Each structure stands twice: as C-alpha cells, then as structure tokens.
Amino acid sequence: MHYPRVSLYALMLAAAGIPLYIHLPRFASVNLGIGLGTIGTILLAIRLIDLLQDPLIGWGIDRWPQAQRGFALIAAFGLAVGFPLLFSLTKGSNTVVWLVGILVLLFSSYSLGMILMYARSTTLAATPAPDDVMTMATFREGGMLAGVVLAAIAPATFVALGASTQGYPAFGVFLGALAVICATVSFPIWQRRPVEGKPINVSDLRHSGALRLLGLALVNSLPVAITSTLFLFFVEDRLQLPGKAGPLLILFFLSAGLSLPFWTKLSQRRGAKQTLLLAMPLAILGFVGAAFLSTGDLVGFALICIASGAALGADMVILPTMFSVALNRVGLEPSFAFGIWSFAGKLGLALAAFMVLPLLEYQGFEPGTSNTASALASLNISYAIVPCILKLVAMALVLTLPSEGSPT
C-alpha cells in the first residue's frame, strides 16, 4: 500500500494545481466581476511571493526533518480550507482582499506539499537505489496526472449534475473533501524515517551534477511552459476548434500518464540520459508537426497531443529522479535544493509569458476575434517553432551530461 499512498498525495496536489492555474481567471472575472487587469496583477504579485518563499520552504523542511508529518498535514489543511472559501466567494466591496488572502494560503500550501513530496523522494522510495527512486517516481507522477484529469473534468461534471454558479461552489467543496481524504489515507508514508543529509553548498551541487541538472530543468521547462500558456489560443484561434481544448488537454495528460511505465522501464534498462535522448525528439516532432496543421485539423492535433504528452511523461519521471539521485550521491539535504528546483520551474512559466505574450500583442493578435494572417503566423511561430528551438537547446544540454556510471 505504500506507493499507492504516494500516488494519492500526489493526486491531491495536482488536483489543487489545475484550479489555481486554469479555472481561477475565469471564476474571478465572471463570478466575482474582477477585471482581467486586476486579476493579472494579483496573480503576478502572488507569483512573486511564491517564487521567493519556495527556497525558504525547502530550508524549513531540511531544518526540521522530523516534522515532515506536520508539514504534510499543514499543506493538506490549507487546501482543505482554502478551496471551499475560494469558490464560495461572491461579489462585494472586500472581495479582492478576501481573494488575495485565500490565494496566498492556497499557493503556499500547494508549494509546501509539492516541495515536501519531491524533496523526500529518497525517503518515500523502498531504498535510495536509483531504480527504486524511479519506481516511486512513476507512482508519484501517475497520481499527479490522475489528479490533473480529475480536476479538469470535475466542474463540467458538477454542472451536468445540476450544480449552480457554473459548478464552482460544489467544485470547491469537492477539492476540500479530496484533500482531507487523500491526506488521511496517505498519512503513513510520512511516518517513515526521513533520509537526511548535509547542508547544501554550491561546490557540492556542482560536484554532484545537481547544478547542471537545475540549468537543464529551467531550459527544458520553457517549451512546455510556452505551449501551456498558448494552448487555448492555438486550439481556438489558430486551429478554429472551439470547445475542443478541454478534451484535447485531457488526451495530452492521459498520454503522459500512460507513457510513465514505459519510460521507467526504459530508463532502468538503458539509463536516464539515453531515455531522455529518445523522448526529446518525439517532443520536437510534435512541435514541428503543429506548425504545419491546417485549420480544423482535429485528428492531426490529437495525434500531436498524444506524442507530446508521451514526451512530457519522460520529463516528469526522469528529471526529478536524476536530481534526487545526484543529491543523494553526495549526501546533500534535498528540500532546500528542491525549493530551488520548484523556483526554476515557476521561473520558466513566468519567462514563457514574458517571452511570447508581449510579442503576440505587438503583432496584433487578439484572442476570440478575427485575426490577420500575420497575427496568426506569429501565434504559430510562438507555439510551435520557438518551443522546438528551446527543446533542441535542452537536448544539447542532455548530451553534455555524463553517462550513468561515469564520474560527474
């Protein structure tokens, strides 16, 4: 029952992440009457807090390793309280103040749970051996993807069952109950004795190879961050497939989830580096293929979602495991390092928006309207060509990694 419990805790966190990044802007604008500019400012401010606190959260987990059970419960409690409060908000004079306070609680709880779960990879694995850490990671990422799919379909399901207000209040209660159930059932995993290490320093990070992997993680996060930012625009404005973004997104994540056992077995047989070098060209082919799709090509883009989802599965299971193994190799404390790892991933999301959204606005692209050929061409380049180039850079960085068994 140990690894399924890891999957459950991961499911809880992933189900919490989708509302924060996908459902929140629409809920705040439609249900709360808050302008998009204000929503963007709020999210930017909270993102800055989130970026700054992640290394501090990691430091705290390392500082008090015996408190991991408490940290796990605090994260779940914040989600259990925050989501019912968030989606029960209504229009009022203090709505923005309440929204900011609740979002700080939710983002902080989410970050605490994610850093704890990834930092304690060696603790949660049967043994610190790379193969066991990889097996545990497969269960963890499988739970994450199941949570993504569950959160993606839940609001529409509640509406179909007759829920009011676009199903958001019922969704909030559902997420709160899910946090309580998952935290309770998975609690035994946090009773394992934590694997501790020595304090982080730059020299050891460099010697272990972890510093190089941090750079790779940042570069490699950019292609997916860009395509995630532009996914709805590409489907609805470039391909002219209104209403198809949700099913295509679920197909993408299902493909990633189903690919996890394959990538795990391949990595255990051929090594993590060689597996990444097989998966990355699949992502590149997906990016290139998207650039040449014609308007209305649902089948073609569905195939690309399958291919790119499968490639994402390799990134999800292999890169964090390589980072855990690198830290364990020289006996470093993992939590502060994974706080930096989390920072790198979120920085990738911020950089993606900074790189492509102003460019699209400059080229005259406006979502939901009739765009010029040059504006759509700019969207096509941003969604397909730029990620392809960045993925090639990431692949070049993988080529510089030492092969398994060789010195760093």
Q: Do 117 and 228 have their domain in common?
A: no
Residue labelled with tokens 């790119």 = 308
**Predicted confidence (pLDDT) per residue in 273-291, tens digit:** 999 999 999 999 999 999 9
pLDDT for residue 408: 42
pLDDT for residue 284: 94
User: Does 407 map to a domain?
Assistant: no
As a whole number of Å, the end-to-end CA separation of the chain is 36
Q: Do 378 and 235 have their domain in common?
A: yes
pLDDT for residue 122: 78
Range with lowest mean pLDDT among 289-293, 301-305, 335-339, 370-374: 335-339
pLDDT at 100 over 60: yes
Q: Which pTM was predicted?
A: 0.75
User: Does 89 map to a domain?
Assistant: yes
At 79, the pLDDT band (50, 70, 90 cuts) reads very high
Q: Do 38 and 182 have their domain in common?
A: yes
Which is more confidently placed, 403 or 86? 86
Q: Do 279 and 170 have their domain in common?
A: no
Q: What SS3 string covers the chain?
A: CHHHHHHHHHHHHHHHHHHHHHHHHHHHHHHCCCCHHHHHHHHHHHHHHHHHHHHHHHHHHHHCHHHHHHHHHHHHHHHHHHHHHHCCCCCCCCHHHHHHHHHHHHHHHHHHHHHHHHHCHHHHCCCCCHHHHHHHHHHHHHHHHHHHHHHHHHHHHHHHCCCCHHHHHHHHHHHHHHHHHHHHHHHHHHHCCCCCCECCCHHHHHHHCHHHHHHHHHHHHHHHHHHHHHHHHHHHHHCCCCCCHHHHHHHHHHHHHHHHHHHHHHHHHHCHHHHHHHHHHHHHHHHHHHHCCCCCCHHHHHHHHHHHHHHHHHHHHHHHHHHHHHHHHCCECHHHHHHHHHHHHHHHHHHHHHHHHHHHHHCCCCCCCCCCHHHHHHHHHHHHHHHHHHHHHHHHHHHCCCCCCCCC
Q: Do 178 and 307 have their domain in common?
A: no
Per the structure, the count of domains in the chain is: 2
Give the tokens for residue 255: 């493909």
Q: Do 156 and 298 have their domain in common?
A: no
pLDDT for residue 36: 62
pLDDT for residue 178: 96
* Percent of the chain with pLDDT strictly greater than 90: 35
At 201, the pLDDT band (50, 70, 90 cuts) reads low
Measured torsion, CA atoms of residues 155, 159, 163, 168, in degrees rounded to the nearest 10:
30
Domain hosting residue 95, numbered range: 1-196
Domain boundary among 150, 171, 196: 196
Instruction: Report the alpha-carbon distance of residue 163 to residue 80 in Å, rounded.
Output: 20
User: Contact at 8 Å (CB) between 305 and 252?
Assistant: yes
User: Does 249 map to a domain?
Assistant: yes
Across the chain, what does the average pLDDT equal? 85
Give the tokens for residue 211: 């510093």
Q: Do 177 and 236 have their domain in common?
A: no
pLDDT at 93 over 80: no
pLDDT at 10 over 80: yes
Q: Do 3 and 62 have their domain in common?
A: yes
Burial of 18 per CB tally in 10 Å (0-12, 13-18, 19+):
buried
Give the tokens for residue 310: 């499968």
Q: Do 169 and 283 have their domain in common?
A: no
Q: Do 191 and 271 have their domain in common?
A: no
* pLDDT average, residue stretch 141-164: 85
Which is more confidently placed, 174 or 227? 174
pLDDT for residue 197: 64
User: Contact at 8 Å (CB) between 133 and 125?
Assistant: yes
pLDDT for residue 407: 40
pLDDT for residue 41: 77
Q: Do 54 and 130 have their domain in common?
A: yes
User: Does 185 map to a domain?
Assistant: yes
CATH number at residue 128: 1.20.1250.20
Q: How far is CA 186 from CA 3, 32, 82, 179, in A?
A: 9, 35, 20, 10
Domain boundary among 151, 181, 196: 196
Which is more confidently placed, 67 or 200? 67
User: Does 343 map to a domain?
Assistant: yes
Q: Do 236 and 281 have their domain in common?
A: yes
User: Does 408 map to a domain?
Assistant: no
pLDDT for residue 184: 95
User: Contact at 8 Å (CB) between 204 and 112?
Assistant: no
Instruction: Report the alpha-carbon distance of residue 347 to residue 143 in Å, rounded.
Output: 24
Range with lowest mean pLDDT among 24-33, 152-161, 330-339: 330-339
Give the tokens for residue 265: 């077995």
pLDDT at 181 over 80: yes
Burial of 282 per CB tally in 10 Å (0-12, 13-18, 19+):
middle
Instruction: Report the alpha-carbon distance of residue 250 to residue 268 in Å, rounded.
Output: 28
Instruction: Report the alpha-carbon distance of residue 231 to residue 254 in Å, rounded.
Output: 16
Domain boundary among 140, 168, 196: 196
Instruction: Report the alpha-carbon distance of residue 66 to residue 187 in Å, rounded.
Output: 14
User: Does 260 map to a domain?
Assistant: yes
Q: Which residue(s) pair with 332 in the sheet?
A: 198
At 309, the pLDDT band (50, 70, 90 cuts) reads very high
pLDDT at 348 over 70: yes
Q: Nearest Cα to 8, choosing from 186, 189, 145?
A: 186
**Predicted confidence (pLDDT) per residue in 103-131, tens digit:** 999 999 999 999 899 888 778 888 878 88
User: Does 295 map to a domain?
Assistant: yes
